Amino acid sequence: MKPDIKGLHHDHIDGSLAVRDVIDGLYALADREFPFPSVGAWLDFFRNPRQDIVRRFATVTDVLQTAEALRTLGYAYGRRRSQEGFGYVEAKFAPQYHLRSGLTLKEAAEAMIEGLRQAESEFGIVIFPVIGIGREADPEMGVEIARVTLEYDGEVGLDLVCDEANHPPEKHLPAFRLTFGSRVRRDCHAGEWVAAEPTDTYRARLLQNVRTAVHELKVDGIGHAIPLADDPELMRYMAGQGIRVAGCPLSNLDSGLIEDVSELRIDRLLEADIIYTLNPDDDLFLPPPTEVIARCDDAYGFTAIQCRQLEGNVFRGAFDRRIGP
């Protein structure tokens, strides 16, 4: 039985299909010629895993360096998710990648948020912006980014994104600590991937990053948490504290981090009353939400109760105080 999911907790704006909707327009805004014969040709290049990942993403971030470009994408993102039937989405972006033409962190954040808010008012969708620290940034930059989130007094969240293997959660503890006692909701990509060697401790190291995020970064949510079902005590703690998990099963599968979505033991997490949700991560190059739901249902054969949990967790775990607790 397929759950009818009306919201997303783990969705990166610059990795979403909204980019496809506006990519040629972004080149026009930047006064640059679109370097592909068509949007389809660009998408083929972008989705080709044999192409260098930095070059692929550069085709997007190169034209996301002005306030107008960021507003355009934020608006397109809200419009797309609304048209897809979502009523509530949490929209992640990392302002540090948009500073090359002189925007400050605050200006980049503000521009994206303006676009999101415009889409909210036109399309009736509720959008909670989440500002990510690209974890390769030094801790001082992380602190600056956390300061930007503080200015929004809980209407914007904080996340830690990108390369977990080389930059474990504790690296940005100073940034997270700055938000302790504030209204800022904290998320963290953790338990997604770590260095391949030594292989015998791989899973334990993944799990350790989840524990660090929970106990030291004091997060309200974790993105991924692939090995969480290995640790009943941690599950009990997270369920008791209402620390949610925004899973992205097909992202993990397509990235080769799991061999089968059943490894995530989503049934076990729901049974433990973890606020678990199903999300796309980056549907610009990974499967869209409808496919995530369908293929997880194929693997798990969700019961009616599990469907109600997956649907309700979107609202129960929402960071936006207009929706959640």
Nearest CB to Zn ion, comparing residues 281 and 320 = 281
Span from 131-139, 276-284, 290-298, 309-317 in contact with Zn ion (CB under 5 A): 276-284
Nearest approach in angstroms of CB 246 to Zn ion is 8
Nearest CB to Zn ion, comparing residues 182 and 255 = 255
Cα 201–chain centre separation: 26
Nearest CB to Zn ion, comparing residues 134 and 139 = 134
Instruction: Tell me the C-alpha distance between 286 and 222, whole Å.
Output: 20
Span from 94-102, 147-155, 203-211, 277-285 in contact with Zn ion (CB under 5 A): 277-285
Span from 37-45, 63-71, 107-115, 275-283 in contact with Zn ion (CB under 5 A): 275-283
- Burial 266-290, CB ≥16 within 10 A → b, else e: bbebbebebbbbbbbbbbbbbbebe
Q: Whose CB is nearest to Zn ion?
A: 281
Nearest CB to Zn ion, comparing residues 10 and 66 = 10
Span from 19-27, 65-73, 74-82, 281-289 in contact with Zn ion (CB under 5 A): 281-289
CB 183 within 8 A of CB 212: no
The neighbouring-strand residues paired with 223 are 189, 246
CB 214 within 8 A of CB 226: no
For residue 197 the two structure tokens come to: 């060697």
CB 87 within 8 A of CB 127: no
Nearest approach in angstroms of CB 102 to Zn ion is 28
Number of residues located near Zn ion, criterion CB under 5 A: 1
Instruction: Tell me the C-alpha distance between 148 and 131, whole Å.
Output: 9
Span from 59-67, 212-220, 227-235, 279-287 in contact with Zn ion (CB under 5 A): 279-287
CB 185 within 8 A of CB 220: yes
Q: Which residues contact 142 (CB under 8 A, 6 or more apart)?
A: 133, 135, 171, 172, 174, 175
Nearest CB to Zn ion, comparing residues 106 and 295 = 295
Residue 164 binds Zn ion, judged by CB under 5 A: no
Residue 281 binds Zn ion, judged by CB under 5 A: yes
Residue 283 binds Zn ion, judged by CB under 5 A: no
Nearest approach in angstroms of CB 308 to Zn ion is 26
Nearest CB to Zn ion, comparing residues 66 and 142 = 142
Nearest approach in angstroms of CB 298 to Zn ion is 23
Instruction: Tell me the C-alpha distance between 301 and 173, whole Å.
Output: 39
Nearest CB to Zn ion, comparing residues 90 and 281 = 281
Instruction: Tell me the C-alpha distance between 90 and 37, whole Å.
Output: 33
Q: Which residues contact 71 (CB under 8 A, 6 or more apart)?
A: 111, 112, 114, 115, 118
Positions that interact with Zn ion (CB under 5 A): 281
